[in-house]
Amino acid sequence: MLSWHLQKAGLSFLIIDEQKPNTASKAAAGIINPVTGRRIVKTWMIDELMPFVLNAYQSIEKEFNIKLISQKKIIDFFPSPQMRLAFTKRFEEDTTYLAIPGQENAWREQFNYEFGFGEITPVYLVDVQLLLSLVRKKFVDQHWLLEERFDIEHLSAEENEIRYKGISAKKIIFCDGIQCEKNPYFNGLPFAPNKGEVLIIESDNIPITHIYKKGINIVPWENNLFWVGSSYEWEFDNDQPTESFRNKTEALLTHWLQSSFKIVDHFASVRPATLERRPFIGFHPARQAVGIMNGMGTKGCSLAPYFAEELVQSIVSGAPISGEANVNRFSKILMRTIS
């Protein structure tokens, strides 16, 4: 997304990126959900983000003549009477993005549920896999992408210039996910990596018109395949799929779904989440040529287009970056890491 906005602004750039099979973006379902948590509160900045991201993804759709973003509803099956009460209470306070259905039996043929359901709308679903493959191909064809591992040992960063293996530029911006924990410029930031696991299942009895939630999400993936997940693990030994997640999720689906299903894939990845659940955007206070765009956590599809544009505008015109996202809120820490 950053490269896309740099291109639109007419700025020259080079991406250095090693292809990896299990990055957080490749594992993502692409859901942009306007509410979050057990209290069903609005997601941070969502009223500003929803129209912005819709326009951003639609502009890419026009460029490639593809369908990239679609509007859905989440059918939120209540896992307990308490969650039903919480949803009803929130709906009474604010109906934005929430709805109470008129027919509680509407999904009995597809799902088992005891405590009814609510609806979350609108929700956007981004085809992340298609986005990544098409944009990557374009950047390779245009010679804007160097497919190799970035070795920070070869980076020399001065006040207004960086050099890397014979390449010189005014700035470098790290969009390196969980690898940024090892970056000497930004390793003092309060990252909180979070592992997620996903199953891909095949089923003929789940309509692709909606997203379904009951503790976990069932999301249309492709053909008769559905993305099922994800877990949120703060403590983990590695980034590999586990038998425990597969067994637990399979048992949940067996109870929830009215029809049979088949597991066709199982994968995992680690999200670059942060302790305060806010991204890191901007330039190092001691090295203005070194920037960062990271820490999106589970909200990459909604946050990345918006803050990519903010970061590009800060480069072009000096426009400010939103305070809650600006990495300079950690200036004291960053000054210590580079001193």
User: Average pLDDT of 212-233?
Assistant: 91
User: Average pLDDT of 107-121?
Assistant: 95
Distance (Å, whole) CA 209 – CA 219: 9
pLDDT at 40: 85
SS3 (DSSP) at 288? coil
Q: Does the 2-23+130-192+275-338 domain belong in CATH 2.40.30.170? A: no
CB 199 within 8 A of CB 266: yes
pLDDT tens-digit map of 60-88: 999 999 999 999 999 999 999 999 999 99
Whether the predicted pLDDT of 339 surpasses 60: no
Greatest distance between any 2 Cα atoms in the chain: 65
pLDDT confidence of 230, banded at 50, 70, 90?
confident
Contacts of 64 (CB under 8 A, 6+ apart): 134
Mean pLDDT over all residues of the chain? 92
pLDDT tens-digit map of 6-41: 999 999 999 999 888 778 888 888 999 999 877 888
Whether the predicted pLDDT of 338 surpasses 70: no
**3-state SS string over 1-52?**
CHHHHHHHCCCCCCEECCCCCCCHHHHCCCEECCEECCCCEECCCHHHHHHH
pLDDT tens-digit map of 164-186: 999 999 999 999 998 888 899 99
Q: Quickly count: other Cβ atoms within 10 Å of residue 215's Cβ.
A: 11
Strands 15-16 and 145-146, how do they pair? parallel
pLDDT at 125: 96
Considering just the CA atoms, what is the radius of gyration of the chain in Å?
21
Distance (Å, whole) CA 142 – CA 113: 51
User: Average pLDDT of 102-123?
Assistant: 94
End-to-end CA distance of the chain: 31
pLDDT at 26: 82
Q: Quickly count: other Cβ atoms within 10 Å of residue 313's Cβ.
A: 15
User: Average pLDDT of 211-224?
Assistant: 92
The distance of Cα 127 from the centroid of its chain, to the nearest Å, equals: 12
Whether the predicted pLDDT of 139 surpasses 80: yes
pLDDT tens-digit map of 283-323: 999 999 999 999 998 899 999 999 999 999 999 999 999 99
Distance (Å, whole) CA 85 – CA 103: 18
Sequence ranges of the domains in the chain: 2-23+130-192+275-338
Distance (Å, whole) CA 107 – CA 216: 17
Residue type, 138: K
- Answer yes or no: pTM beyond 0.85: yes
Whether the predicted pLDDT of 227 surpasses 90: yes
Q: Quickly count: other Cβ atoms within 10 Å of residue 245's Cβ.
A: 20
pLDDT at 21: 75
pLDDT at 151: 93
